[in-house]
Amino acid sequence: MSSPWPRRLRRWLPWALLVPPAGIIVAVLVAWSGAINIAATAGHPAWLESFLALAMRSSVRAHSSAVKVPPLDTDLLPLGAAHFHGSCAICHGAPGQPVNPTFAHMLPHPPPLQEHASRWRTGELYWLAFHGLQYTGMPAWSGAGRGDEVWAVAALLRELPSMDVSTYQAYAAGNATLETPEPHQLVQDGTPIFPTATCDRCHGTAEATAVSPYVPRLGGQSRAYLLRALREYRVDQRQSGFMEPVAAALQEENLAGLADYYAALAEPRQPSTFAGDLQMGRTLALAGDAQRDVPPCLSCHGEPKRADVPRLAGQSGQYLEQQLLLWQAGGRGQTSHGRLMARVAQRLSITQIKAVSAYFASISAEDGLAQMESAP
Ligand code: HEC
Ligand code: HEC
Ligand code: HEC
């Protein structure tokens, strides 16, 4: 005797196959009818809220599982905080600053991260800040391909829940002074709770070095190079999630003045904290490496020979290494100057990159020129 199942299956299968297309038609009709209220004021029913939260958490966990967290040093924190204050606090608020009501009324709400960051692992925080979240208003990192930069923000987010307000505020302000504005200034200039639009939050001044060795030294850099760098950030030819938003907010007619200012600025020297073989670095700088077809760095970087080439002597080792690794990974190659340097950087070994970064960080601009003149 044959089982009744195949016969029943044969009877119901055609109807079962109709369910998915019928579902799609009903869904399209519901969407088309306008019955769904998408107003942010309408909120989500509790079941939908839980469903979306589950989907988000699982998606972030799955997609961030391959992220490898490198050792994150505390020098990243001031840069992470300065960026957070300029680009994230507007939606998320910050220690000592509640979420602005305009952004608090987004749906989903941007949560205060000093409370929420502890719900995520460091790799997940990195992934969230790098990739953003679809359909929520949470943006992706604005420097395309600059995942290396996002670690400064992940380092900050990880510390944020245990950071007190004054520590956060000191980091966020960097070298900028926090004076309480006079009433007439408030009336005229508005209320910059912090001076978010200033370069001093990150870069050096006449009195202080840059807030972190991950921020380049600008004081005394060539004017032509500074101007070109600002233009390239502005038009998205040079990618950086830190600098592109700052440069986009500037006006073309201000760029030359800023380049003049930094070219003339006598910024104090930062003692180098970067380790590498100084002798190997010196040889590369002065003589290159014939085996690898690497020309001496100072044949192009020996200022004042070529004004459009940056000065490396006295620059931070962390920054020099980061840029050389960026070229090795195929970044910073959109301009003719960038491509010129890519050919050199891609021939260096990792040990040579460390060595030459440590060497240039250890000398002053004057030492660099003197050594070049006395070179064989
Ligand atoms: C335009 C507003 C906006 C800006 C700017 C913004 N975010 Fe968000 N962010 C959101 C919203 C909205 C969510 C909530 C998404 C959700 O709950 O599904 C979110 C979620 C997050 C989360 C997950 C928090 C959680 O527990 O749900 C992190 C981490 C985060 N943002 C970090 C950042 C960082 C870092 C920056 C700056 C680089 C930033 N955000 C800039 C709107 C913003
Ligand atoms: C949030 C921190 C931050 C702020 C604010 C900031 N910068 Fe920067 N700046 C950086 C970082 C980090 C880099 C390196 C970016 C990269 O990898 O390309 C940089 C790079 C630069 C460079 C290129 C230097 C080089 O050697 O190639 C110039 C020029 C520059 N900044 C000018 C400015 C000016 C002018 C302002 C103010 C209008 C400003 N920056 C505000 C962090 C900042
Ligand atoms: C053929 C000429 C040339 C040689 C040789 C050369 N460079 Fe460069 N380098 C450049 C140019 C041009 C730039 C500017 C690139 C840009 O604007 O994107 C640059 C930029 C750099 C930067 C980025 C600095 C900053 O402020 O962002 C570093 C780091 C660097 N070079 C390191 C080196 C090292 C180390 C060597 C030797 C191993 C070397 N360069 C040899 C032409 C050269």
Structure tokens at 358: 């440590």
Cα angle 343-347-350, degrees, rounded to a multiple of 5: 130
Residue 181 is predicted with a pLDDT of: 78
pLDDT confidence bin for 7, thresholds 50/70/90: confident
- At 180, the pLDDT band (50, 70, 90 cuts) reads confident
C-alpha 367 to ligand 3 mean position (Å): 18
Could you identify the atom of ligand 1 that is nearest to the CA of residue 141? 38
- The response to whether residue 242 sits with its C-beta less than 6 Å from ligand 2 reads yes
Using CA atoms of 333, 240, 230, 306 in order, give the dihedral in degrees to the nearest 10.
-40
Is the Cβ atom of 309 under 6 angstroms away from ligand 2? no
pLDDT given at position 364: 77
* Spatial distance between the Cα atoms of 24 and 229, rounded to a whole number of angstroms: 52
Ligand 3 near 226 CB (within 6 A): no
**Nearest CA-CA partner of 324 in 302, 306, 351:** 351
What is the rounded distance in angstroms from the CA atom of residue 26 to the CA atom of residue 20? 10
According to the model, what pLDDT value does residue 366 have? Answer: 62
Half-sphere exposure of 250 (CA within 13 A, CB side): 22
Q: What is the pLDDT of residue 2?
A: 56
Q: Which ligand is nearest to the CA of 257?
A: 2
Reported as a pLDDT band with limits 50, 70 and 90, residue 376 is very low
- Relative to the CA of 211, which ligand 2 atom is closest? 2
Q: Are 153 and 78 in contact (CB under 8 A)?
A: no
Q: Encoding tokens for residue 80? A: 């992470």
Ligand 3 centre to CA of 36 (Å) is 57
CB of residue 83 inside a 6 A radius of ligand 2:
yes
Task: State which ligand 2 atom lies nearest to the alpha carbon of 249.
Answer: 38
Inform me whether the pLDDT recorded for 85 exceeds 50: yes
Letter string b/e over residues 133-146, b meaning 16 or more CB atoms within 10 A of that residue's CB: eeeeebeebbbeeb
Mean confidence (pLDDT) of the chain: 91
Task: Convert the pLDDT of each residue in 262-314 to its tens digit.
Answer: 999 999 988 888 999 999 999 999 999 999 999 999 999 986 667 889 999 99
- Check: CB of residue 282 under 8 Å from CB of residue 371: yes
**Residues 96-112 pLDDT 10s:** 998 889 999 999 999 99
Per the CB < 8 A criterion, the answer to whether 285 and 361 are in contact is: no
Buried b / exposed e over 360-375, threshold 16 CB at 10 Å, is bbbbebeebbebbeee
Which of ligand 2's atoms lies nearest the C-alpha of 326? Answer: 17
Nearest CA to ligand 1 atom 9: 138
Q: What is the pLDDT of residue 186?
A: 80
**Confidence label for 214 from pLDDT (cuts 50, 70 and 90):** very high
For residue 334 and ligand 3, the question of a CB distance below 6 A is answered with no
